[in-house]
Structure 1
Amino acid sequence: MAHLDIPGLLKDTKLGRTAIVSSFGAESVVLLHYVVSVLPDIPVLFLDTGKHFPETLAYRDEVADALGLNLQVATPDSSLLEKEDPYGVLYGRDPNACCTIRKTFPLQDAIAPFDSWISGRKRYQGASRAALPILERDGEKIKINPMASWLESDVRAYFARHDLPRHPLEANGYPSIGCAPCTQPVAAGDDQRAGRWAHMPDKTECGIHLGPDGRFVRSAQDRREGE
């Protein structure tokens, strides 16, 4: 693990008002425990897309209760869902559009009052995150990735040291857990995120992360078209 003053960074007043965005996935509790030990009252934003595994929602509640989180749940606009995805199957024909209305737009609204936000992304999670910086510009916001340089062994050690609960789907081969229709188990040795949108090889992110140019990064194809 890199020896950086991450607690000092998180407390830096230059970041303004800060929130954590958490998916309550396989490794999320490590970030949450780490950050709330420094900033106990920090808002924790969860995007309830309406497509999460039931296990994720139960795990969210367990972790929020155990850590005493200041949990704030954001949901998609019901009128937009009724118009664009009335039968709840948009993920099947246009996953990017589904992510936009169920994740990107709700996140934009949820982080609007904040100057910066904290993500749990790490470099070892896959090729698309290999060069992830600890601090980055995210449109008009600053995004902090305090665990960017952590190794997988660091995460395992943190789980053990603090006796943190594991996501119940992790034991079933889900190292990266998103919405149920677009997440599947991963074979041993594969990229951690290989089970996300496995039917769309070009898609690597859900679209909540902005590139340096302020555009949402949704897929490899989107990136190529923007070059």
Structure 2
Amino acid sequence: MPVGQRRALLAHAAATGTVVLEDDYDSEFRHRGSPVPALAALDTDGVVVHLGGFSKTLDPRLRCAYVVVPSGAVGAAVLAARTARGAVVAEPVQVALAHLLRTGAFRRHLGRVRRDYTHRRERIAVRLATSGVPGLEARALTGGLHAVLTWPGPATGAAVLARAAADGVLVADLADYETVRGRSGNGVVLGYGAVTLPELDRALDVVLAAVRATRADPG
């Protein structure tokens, strides 16, 4: 959402007494351009509750998240509700995460993994550009830890998904993310955050072979 629309949303929320819940998902992994300011950073009326976690940046097994609350009534209500909920994450885990943040170790860690994920993104783009499959494109590589592979023709994402799964590679059908059926075209979504480079290369081999085979025999 462009900054102008973000400001308009915040103005509407302030005028109508609406609380905005901002899910800060994958913002740490922006591979191209400058990140757009968070809603919470633009909020001057105390209407944004900013949510985030460490599943993508560290490890999902930590099961630890955070909330940044605004000053005023909204923040007080959120803190009261959170206090009433009680502790849900072990204190040693919270202390360790706080230490990483306080010492700058977390920021240095992000720098390292950003470089790693940028390399994986470039690897995917090169493999698809040299695949020899007409019209095959890699999208959604500007941020996050996934790539969207699309292609023209009759082969569906569901058919490619089935062929890839038979070879042990799991992807998602792009159609499952549609709000309007048929608008996105044929494609699959491939995550690359939790695999090694050899595993990524093999997954790309399998998916590309599945696309070629399905295009040749869509039935």
Question: TM-score, normalising length from structure 2?
Answer: 0.30
Larger radius of gyration: 2
* Higher normalized contact order (CA 8 Å, seq sep 6+, divided by chain length): 1
